[in-house]
Amino acid sequence: MEYVENDLDIYFAVGNANTQRQENEITSIIKKRNSRGWKLISTSTAIVDPKNQFSNLYLFWEKRFLLN
């Protein structure tokens, strides 16, 4: 029997430009999750505060387990 677990990471960003720091942080999150057996299944972004250019990046993960 297979068991599926889901999880979510929320990355908060200020400003509308991709900085190298932001890219490095997101890459680090993805590498850590992948090394632990998680699979990235979807991403989504949302502008939370247009005045201050504050946005969120949502990373949706899935991990499958085989149960005996």
The pLDDT value given to residue 18: 65
Please say whether the dihedral angle defined by the alpha carbons of residues 44, 48, 49 and 52, taken in this order, is positive or negative.
negative
Place of tokens 């505060």: 49
Which tens digit of pLDDT belongs to each residue from 40-62?
999 998 988 888 778 899 999 99
> Domain locations in the chain?
2-66
Q: Per-residue pLDDT averaged across 27-39, rounded?
A: 95
